[in-house]
Amino acid sequence: MKLYAVGDLVLDEPNADFFFDLARDALSGADILCGHVEVPHTTRGVESVGDVPAPASAPENLKALKNARFHLATLAGNHVHDRGAQGIADTIATLRENGVVTVGAGEDIDAARAPAIVTRGATKIGFLSYNCVGPREGWASATRAGCAYINVLTHYELNYAGPGGPPKIYTFCEPDTVEAMQADIEGLKQRVDAVVVAFHKGLVHTPAALAMYERPLCKAAIEAGADLVLGHHPHILKGVEIYRGKAIFHGLGNFVTVTRALTAKGNDHAARRAWAERRKQLFGFEPDPDYPLYPFHPEAKNAIIASCTWNGAAFEPGFLPCWIEPTGQPRVLTRSKEGEAVKDYVAKITSDAGMKASFDWDGDRVAIS
């Protein structure tokens, strides 16, 4: 049974089907195909407070996921609440109308933490989805729609005699939310053959680096019974590690992530325009002008489809290397010079983050061990 997973999906342009065309054949090889829907798809609601909101996308754009044969969408992320409860309800309803199962967000915290189960033959795969990044206004509660979440605490320590200088940053997961996640995993494990946990986490627009909380959190999920961990949010690939024989994809990067909201020129939304300018200063990159719908870090043109085969006892991890074209379309690569470059990039960012894994070709797929 083949599970394919991609990272962030932002379908913020008309003719959304077009952006999947170069990857459509490869995606059709999955028995289960999942990705992270980043923004609300609605015509209702008002913009949420607490962070720079993403624009809502047209509900009809989600039909492109059905046409690309997606089976499941994770929703626990920092933008799912950007149009409030109505935006969450409409996004879930439209995905389900298109045959896409959802997990990670809902009308209250119980709905947000509820797992999704996908059955293929006699095999049941359970999915859970949690957000680790703000804003808190998007976190579900007993009386508020939102997403399932892990509360990450940040501490700044100036550990040398330089007042005003750059501090060391410590990040920790609040124990109660980790324990709640582990209870979710343990309960789900009793009902399914395998558990997949997705985290919206990490440092945006930053090559290789992982925040202090990321690896311990992913390991805690595996210790509770997760068989595969998937990360997204940074809008750039992160490395892969194997823990207790289980794969952790720390950041699947972007897949179809087309938007004009992160471009400063011509942006009529003051907060988004200011963030587009500040982002360049914070992270030290200029979006490629040849990529008008893809205003991300130059290294974010490297992309992958996680390709994990369930053998009845464990997932055999790997990936299909991809490249984002100037049109915003991901193109799946073969065992070629271009494919080798993406494989080498994943190996480098894995090593740069202090992790060890081996990457070897298995046909046109890269196997991870």
Q: What is the pLDDT of residues 278-315, one digit of tens each?
A: 999 999 999 999 999 999 999 999 999 999 999 999 99
Q: Bigger pLDDT: 50 or 17? A: 17
- Segment 6-21 shows an average pLDDT of 98
Q: What is the pLDDT of residues 75-111, one digit of tens each?
A: 999 999 999 999 999 999 999 999 999 999 999 999 9
Residue 246 has pLDDT above 90, yes or no: yes
Q: What is the pLDDT of residues 178-226, one digit of tens each?
A: 999 999 999 999 999 999 999 999 999 999 999 999 999 999 999 999 9
Q: What is the pLDDT of residue 134?
A: 84
Distances, alpha carbon 275 to alpha carbons 8, 10, 18, in Å: 19, 18, 28
Residue 336 has pLDDT above 90, yes or no: yes
Q: What is the pLDDT of residue 159?
A: 82
Q: Report strand pairing: 365-368 vs 318-324.
A: antiparallel
162 pLDDT band (50/70/90 cuts)? confident
366 pLDDT band (50/70/90 cuts)? very high
Average pLDDT, whole number, for the chain? 97
Torsion 369-251-306-174 (CA) sign = positive
Q: What is the pLDDT of residue 144?
A: 96
Residue 242 has pLDDT above 80, yes or no: yes
Q: What is the percent of the chain where pLDDT is above 70?
A: 100
Q: What is the pLDDT of residue 50?
A: 77
Distances, alpha carbon 116 to alpha carbons 65, 76, 85, 355, in Å: 17, 13, 20, 30
CATH of domain 2-368: 3.60.21.10
Domain ranges for the chain: 2-368
161 pLDDT band (50/70/90 cuts)? confident
CB atoms within 10 A of CB 199: 29
- Segment 44-62 shows an average pLDDT of 91
Q: What is the pLDDT of residue 313?
A: 97
Q: Is the bond preceding 135 in cis, omega lying within 30 degrees of 0? A: yes
Single out the residue of 327, 289, 259, 329 nearest to residue 52, CA to CA.
Answer: 259
- Segment 324-350 shows an average pLDDT of 98
Q: What is the pLDDT of residue 112?
A: 98
Least confident of 8-12, 18-22, 48-52: 48-52
Q: What is the percent of the chain where pLDDT is above 90?
A: 95
Q: Dihedral (C-alpha) 37, 38, 43, 45: value to the nearest 10 degrees?
A: 120
Q: What is the pLDDT of residues 122-132, one digit of tens each?
A: 999 999 999 99
Residue 327 has pLDDT above 80, yes or no: yes
Q: What is the pLDDT of residue 48?
A: 85
Q: What is the pLDDT of residues 73-84, one digit of tens each?
A: 999 999 999 999
Torsion 23-63-82-139 (CA) sign = negative
Single out the residue of 16, 85, 93, 25 nearest to residue 57, CA to CA.
Answer: 16
